A and B are shown apart, each in its own frame.
Chain A
Amino acid sequence: ETGVTQSPTHLIKTRGQQVTLRCSSQSGHNTVSWYQQALGQGPQFIFQYYREEENGRGNFPPRFSGLQFPNYSSELNVNALELDDSALYLCASSSQTVFEQFFGPGTRLTVL
């Protein structure tokens, strides 16, 4: 096990709603990255948080936002949910000196 935890494991929402996903990083890691993985695709980088600030962002609209807390845990918020947001959302923790990323089990989001 990586020590990275995510909650909830599954979530069902309807179009237009908002969702918050949570991630706790591995002990000793100060960086959290979020990814979206659609069925049959590789994970797509959403953004990364380091020292409570966004440290890089992929090609996702502003309705995808995040936070990092002083204990390095993180949240991903998605507003105005669309059907295409249905996916597995993965968080990964790492440090700024060791580039390997370790993933949590993911949150499977279904938007109806």
Chain B
Amino acid sequence: RKEVEQDPGPFNVPEGATVAFNCTYSNSASQSFFWYRQDCRKEPKLLMSVYSSGNEDGRFTAQLNRASQYISLLIRDSKLSDSATYLCVVNGKIGNQFYFGTGTSLTVIP
């Protein structure tokens, strides 16, 4: 079983839409959770950390459900500039070793 599983999409949504991504993880001992964004042929960039209580940053909301071992990312009022691949990241068994999902591709259409 993979450490982190994501629906690869692609998600094609119109501008202004709300879109949600989910991700499940297998290691119940994981302590740190993140969403990264990766533009085509670029490096991943930290979008937001995910806290147990859930957290929001502008149009982006991240939530963690430890009981079901999944994290989610909600993007409201999608912009063209949100088009990218979104990577779910969970820390592993050893310190801050990261496990990445395969990424979910989002295209926002005018």
Residues of B within 8 Å of A50, CB to CB, are 95
Contacts A42-B103, A45-B92, A100-B49; A105 near B97 (Cβ below 8 A): no
Which one, A40, A45, A96, contacts B97 given CB within 8 A? A45
User: Residues on B close to A: CB < 8 A?
Assistant: 4, 6, 32, 34, 41-46, 49, 87, 91-92, 94-103
A66 on the interface (CB 8 Å rule)?
no
Q: Closest 3 interchain pairs by CB?
A: A42-B100, A56-B94, A103-B43
Q: How many interface contacts (CB-CB < 8 Å) are there between A and B?
A: 63
A2 to B43, CA, bound (A): 10
Q: Do residues B42 and A42 form an inter-chain contact, with CB atoms below 8 A?
A: no
What are 16 of the A-B contact pairs (CB < 8 Å)? A2-B45, A31-B96, A33-B97, A40-B102, A42-B6, A43-B44, A45-B99, A48-B94, A56-B94, A88-B41, A92-B98, A94-B96, A99-B32, A99-B96, A101-B98, A103-B45
Instruction: Considering the complex, give the chain A residue whose CB is closest to the CB of B100.
Output: A42
Contacts A42-B100, A43-B100; A106 near B95 (Cβ below 8 A): no
A55 to B45, CA, bound (A): 23
A65 on the interface (CB 8 Å rule)?
no
A17 to B6, CA, bound (A): 35
A102 to B44, CA, bound (A): 8
Residue-wise, chain A 1-12 has the 8 Å CB interface mask toward B (1 for contact) of 010000000000
A58 on the interface (CB 8 Å rule)?
yes
B-contacting residues, A88-110, CB 8 Å? 88, 90, 92, 94, 96, 99-106
> Taking the nearest CB of chain A, how far is it from the CB of B48, in angstroms?
10
